[in-house]
Structure formats: structure tokens, C-alpha cells
Amino acid sequence: MSESKLELDKVSIALNGKQLLTVDSSVGPGEVLTIMGPSGSGKSSLLAYIAGFLAPVFEASGGVFVNGDDITTLPAERRRVGLLFQDPLLFPHLSIAGNLRFAIDDRSADKASLIRQGLDEVGLGGFEERDPGTLSGGQESRIALLRLLLSSPNAVLLDEPFSKLDSQLRAEMRTLVFSKLRASGLPSILVTHDQADADSAGGEIITLEQ
């Protein structure tokens, strides 16, 4: 259970001289900042900037702070910012346990029980040796979430993670994700074009124009 805060200090992203967005905001522990806007408005590039892999073709400036630490210049793997993509992106060559183990810090002691516990908590107990390719869409999303949480991030980014799920699964996943994030006290930024997602997140909403 962390108590972190995520601050965006005048983050501005431009492409070919044209400014795409400016964000100046902060997200408290367990809170969700929702960014909405049509495609091409640069929402995903904001997340890429925060996570640390914005393509050099963009011009970006502004500070990103997690718990007061400036992570703007850190390499992506040291930022401890989790990212949930549209696709679950489970590594197809590893088993479920392999995927989860990948996320856990190498220095952790009992990875096996962490994995077992986590799987039970998302209702997928006993799935350790399963092949990710055999899972249903909903199961994959749950594993993706679990994997992200097991990496002990200090902040979480969500890039339209529910858009590829059907409406029933969507509602389930929304509940699961936001409750887990709240319970872990992680600040999150959600990018979406679906109003229902924003409502479910229940936090501040920033709308970008084209």
C-alpha cells in the first residue's frame, strides 16, 4: 500500500511545431485523473512521455514528479510507472507465471507465493502454467492488471485499457481495476474517449480539444 502522488508540471507536447496539449495537474494517492479527447489529440503521447518512451519526433517539455522525485530524465525502466495498454500484451512465449515473474523485482524472496496469492485474488487461481494464448479476453486483462501491480509501481497509466472489451466485461474490468488502484493507494492517469470510463474513474477530468 503506497501513498504516492503524481505531479505533472506544465507538461507540454508538440509535433512539427504544432502544440498538441499542455497539462499542469497533480494526482493524489488512489485518485484517477481522466484525460479525454478525440484521436490524434496526443493523449497517448502524454502517457508515453510520462512512462519514458516518447518518440524523438515529438517535442516535449515539462516536469513529471512522483512523490516529489523528478523522474523526467530517468530511463523508462527506473521510473516505476506502470502502463496498462489497450491490448493486454501478455508475453506469448512465457506462461502466466512467467509473465508475472517477469514483473516481480528480482530481489523478492518468495515469488511463487506472491504469484499464487495474486492469481487467487483476481479469480484465476491455478493458472500458473497456462499458455497466455489460450486465455479469454477478460482473463488476459486480469492477468495484465496483476502483472502491473506485481511490479510495485508508484503510479499507473491507463491507455484506453477497456476499449477492446465487450460491454459486460468492460464494466467488470472497470470495477476491478479502479478498486485495486484505490486499494493500493496508487495515483493513476486514465486516457479514454468513453464517458462511462471517465464516470467510473470518478476523478478529475481534463478534456483536450483537437
Partner 1 sequence: MLRWASHSLLILLAVPILLGTLIAILPAFGYFPTLGGTEFSLDAWRELVQVPGIKRSIQISLLSGVLTPLIALALVFLYLASASGSKLDNWMRRLVSPLLSFPHAAAAFGLAFLIAPSGLLSRLISPGLSGWERPPDLLIINDTWGLTLLFGLIVKEVPFLLLMSLAALPQLQPSKHVELARSLGYRPTIGWLKVIAPNLYPLIRLPVAAVIVFASATVDVALILGPTLPPTLSVRVLAWFNDADLNFRFLAAAGAILQLGTSLLAITIWLCLEKLCAVLWRFWVATGDRGTGERLVFFSGRGAMPIVLLVITGSLVALLVNAFAGPWRYPSVLPSSWTFLHWTNNFQNLLTPLLNTLLISVGSTLSALVLVLATLESERQSGKLRATAMWLLYLPLLVPQIVFLFGFIVLTESMRWQGTMSLVIFGHFLFVLPYVFLSLSEAYRQLDPRWSQVASTLGASPFKSFWRIRIPLLLAPCLTAIAIGMAISISLFLPTQLLGAGRITTITSEAVALSSGASRNLIAVWAVVQLSLPMLGFLAALTVPRLLWRNRTGMREIR
Q: Interface with partner 1 by CB under 8 A: which residues?
A: 48, 51-53, 55-56, 75-78, 80-83, 85, 87, 89-93, 102-103, 105, 131-134, 147-148, 151, 153, 157
Give the H/E segment covering residue 32: strand 32-36
CA 141 to chain centre: 12
Q: Do residues 137 and 147 touch, judged by C-beta distance below 8 A? A: no
Q: Which three cell numbers stand for residue 177?
A: 481495476
Closest to 22 in 3D by CA, of 4, 5, 46, 57: 46
Nearer to partner 1, 17 or 92 (CB): 92
Closest to 208 in 3D by CA, of 6, 14, 16, 39: 39
Nearer to partner 1, 80 or 182 (CB): 80
Closest to 184 in 3D by CA, of 7, 30, 6: 30
The distance of closest approach from Cβ of residue 161 to partner 1 in the complex, given in angstroms and rounded to an integer, is 12
Nearer to partner 1, 108 or 195 (CB): 108
Nearer to partner 1, 105 or 209 (CB): 105
Nearer to partner 1, 55 or 112 (CB): 55
Q: Do residues 13 and 33 touch, judged by C-beta distance below 8 A? A: no
The distance of closest approach from Cβ of residue 150 to partner 1 in the complex, given in angstroms and rounded to an integer, is 8
The distance of closest approach from Cβ of residue 89 to partner 1 in the complex, given in angstroms and rounded to an integer, is 5
Sheet holding 18-27, edge to edge: 18-27, 6-15, 58-66, 69-70
The distance of closest approach from Cβ of residue 118 to partner 1 in the complex, given in angstroms and rounded to an integer, is 14
The distance of closest approach from Cβ of residue 133 to partner 1 in the complex, given in angstroms and rounded to an integer, is 3
